[in-house]
Structure 1
Amino acid sequence: MKVTLIAGSNRTNASSTNLLRYVGYLLEAEDISVHFIDLSKIQLPLFSPDNWDFHSDAKRVLNAIEEGDGLIIATPEYHGSVSGALKNALDYITASQVAGKAVLSVSSAGGPLGVSSLSHLQAIIRNLHGINCSEWISIGYGQNTFDSDGAPLDEGMKERVQKAVNHFVDLTQKLRAAARAEH
């Protein structure tokens, strides 16, 4: 199984990116192939529907999404929504690249929880015909409390993340099997 992870912050050492790296570690521990896209390292041109001859970085992101069996997207919460960098990256995506795939949403907020950004992200995924996981991951107050290996220091957070990842993996496997049975 292949999973594409998109870190939607353009901030160096963002807590949402650190959290997503930990999620990637959990997936790799289960022998799941991970393609990590960090939008702080890939500067995508502003999307325009007038130009479908995409920049090579945009093509790389789209290829990774197409090749993945599932998608995990992390965002900081900015003014109650997803980051501009992530929204721009998502604007490149067409429904054919996400339709029928499991998507897990992850957020980090400066306040108690990033629920607004998660709701917006899930609405975008629904419009792309992706299958939102019923679980999501949100940390608040920029809980940038990770050890040197990238694991959250808070045991409760570790348990919540593991539960959401397990649910995502289960959903992805079921959707993958159903898609193969149709063909």
Structure 2
Amino acid sequence: MHPSKITILSCSMDPESRSRRIACGAESLLRERRSEVEFIDLQDIELPAFDNLNCYGHPSYDRLYRAIRDADGVLLAVPIYNWSVGSAAKNLIELTGATGAGGRKSAWFDKIVTFVCSGGLPHSYMAYGNLAMSLMLDFKCVINPYVVYATERDWIDGANLSDELAARLRKTVEVKLELVSRLRGRGYASDWEI
């Protein structure tokens, strides 16, 4: 059995991003469990705006597309703004999820997706739901039912997750790896279908 290949996509443009810090914690846990991890921070690369034409020639496109397509699972670390996932994550999914000319096919089909989120208010904890539903319906992604949602109240001295949230992150990563392991041999491959 080869190790699980997990791509972590940190989708915050905030230099002090808390979702990025959670993603780094997830990376450490995945590496402890001998997973092969590719960590991509969208703050460090130029993400072209999705225009369904010129964006595919952008140098970042191939790297992002392959990192998602070739992964056993994807972890999306996202900020929550205005009751929804930050716009960079949606742009990333539009860019790598489009199918079209030249045999291009969405990188997202059948991926096992896990969300780790940081928001300002505790009651925004379901704000990632619309994006999760879209990934499930459009690309037949399997959405990990365990999610980390943290607000500033969940950080100790602004630097470390509370014990409760750190335990939630561990369980979220463990469930992700179990889903990847159990679904590795599945006999189907999805495409655009209703």
User: What per-residue deviation string (whole Å, max 9, x for no partner) do you get for residues 129-161 of structure 1?
Assistant: 21101111111237454897xxx3411111111
Which residues of structure 1 form unaligned runs of 5+?
A: none
Which residues of structure 2 form unaligned runs of 5+?
A: 98-104, 189-194
In the alignment, is residue 137 of structure 1 matched against residue 148 of structure 2? Answer: yes
Q: TM-score, normalised by structure 2?
A: 0.83
Q: Percent identity of the aligned residues?
A: 25
1:61/1:144 CA distance change after superposition, 3 Å: farther
Partner of 2:179 in structure 1? Answer: 171
C-alpha RMSD of matched pairs (Å)? 2.1
User: What per-residue deviation string (whole Å, max 9, x for no partner) do you get for residues 14-38 of structure 1?
Assistant: 0000001100100000110100110
C-alpha distance in 2, partners of 1:157/1:147? 13
C-alpha distance in 2, partners of 1:146/1:19? 15
Partner of 2:36 in structure 1? Answer: 33
If you compute each CA radius of gyration, which structure gives the higher value, 1 or 2? 2
1:138/1:43 CA distance change after superposition, 3 Å: same
Q: TM-score, normalised by structure 1?
A: 0.88
C-alpha distance in 2, partners of 1:142/1:121? 25
For residues 1-183 of structure 1, the aligned pairs below 5 Å read 1-51=4-54, 53-94=56-97, 96-126=106-136, 127-141=138-152, 143-145=154-156, 152-179=160-187
C-alpha distance in 1, partners of 2:134/2:156? 29
Matched residues, number: 177
Name the SS of the counterpart of 1:53 in structure 2.
Answer: helix
Q: How far has the Cα of 1:68 moved from its partner? A: 0.6
After alignment, is 26-35 or 169-178 more displaced?
169-178
1:153/1:100 CA distance change after superposition, 3 Å: closer
Q: How far has the Cα of 1:6 moved from its partner? A: 0.5
Name the SS of the counterpart of 2:107 in structure 1.
Answer: helix
